[in-house]
Amino acid sequence: MTPDHSPTDRTVSGTQPPAETSESDIYRHEPSGIMERSGNIPLWLQLVVFALLVWGLYYAWRYWNSY
């Protein structure tokens, strides 16, 4: 007899997902307990990335310029 390879619920029994998301949107990695879901990138993180890119361009122009 072949084993059933259907997807299973990997969440720990008794735990409830946050109210604003449905259970199908969250996947829990059982060994580590990390919960993965789709979401937005926070504004502060977007600003940090933008600032680092601008600083990198300035640094490259200012200190790697041969003039």
Per-residue pLDDT of 40-58, as tens digits, reads 899 999 999 999 999 999 9
pTM attached to this predicted model: 0.46
Q: How far apart are the first and last CA of the chain?
A: 75
Whether 37 and 26 have beta carbons less than 8 Å apart is answered as yes
**Rounded Cα distance, 36 and 25, in Å:** 8
Give tens-digit pLDDT for 12-49: 555 555 555 555 677 777 788 787 777 889 999 999 99
